Amino acid sequence: MGNFNTYTVKLIFLILPGLLGMVFFRALRGRRNRQNWELFVHVITLAFVSYFLTGFVYRILGLSPADLKSSATAPIQAIFQAFISKSQTLPWGVIVWASIVACLIVVLLSFIDTHKWLQRPFRRFHITNYSGESELWEYFFNAHLHGTEAKCWVLVRDHRCDLAYLGWVRAFSDPEQKRELILQEVDVYTNDTAAYCYSTPVMYLARQRDDVTVEIPPKNGNGSQMPNSTIENDGHVIINKADGIVGDSLEAHENST
């Protein structure tokens, strides 16, 4: 029973860098619905890679972990031997350094995943059409948001309330959840007649998948998006944001004049 408890504790600390790394990755990239076996494989793989790289650094520097009974020439073997040996204590210093290495690996993986470096070369050569995003909801906004300070103007059509919202996206929800948006500098119009209702500095919107449609207004000649302007013609209201339309089309307005 004592050996069982010892091995259980050592197993927990063996995978600790992988657990911390996965928590950090979720903090950077958001939560994703994964099968239990997938999470287990990711945690174990990250933990072992972290220990291997930690031992490799020890070897490159010609150092030997102080809490391991090993020479500086074989720190990688000594690290894993410590977790299966009955006599050796846990290598606490190695666990700490492996956890730091796991977090650094996660930062690199998050950067690669954000910029889609894995899929980009294969898409260039038409080997795959996969964007790398788990849902088109995420791909849609990531394709138009450039940096946290960029103002991505959107037109959100709320089919449940029959309203249209013009504003720029401050934040959007993770995939595999209901559609949530935080919009700023929002003007609210009726969806069918484009009649102005009111304005609000910030709006939180939560709807089911089929309740909203999001459109990106075209850009102006400078390649930037502009605030709202309202055109009235014989009772027909056209809301134009950088030549993007809500309600009647510009072509219909020009033909009527």
**Every domain of the chain and the residues it spans:** 2-120, 136-256
- Residue type present at position 139: Y
Residue 208 tokens read as 């089911």
| Count of Cβ atoms closer than 10 Å to residue 227 Cβ | 12
The predicted model scores a pTM of 0.61
Distance CA 182, CA 203 (A): 6
The pLDDT value recorded for residue 134 is 63
Residue 248 tokens read as 């009647």
Architecture in CATH of 136-256: Roll (2.30)
How do residues 6-20 score in pLDDT, each as one tens digit?
Answer: 677 778 888 899 999
Cβ–Cβ < 8 Å for 172, 143: no
Report, as an integer, the average pLDDT of 216-220.
63
Residue 255 tokens read as 């033909």
Q: What band does 105 get if pLDDT is binned at 50, 70 and 90?
A: very high
How do residues 168-198 score in pLDDT, each as one tens digit?
Answer: 988 888 776 678 899 999 999 998 888 889 9
In which element (H, E) is residue 108 found? Answer: helix 92-115
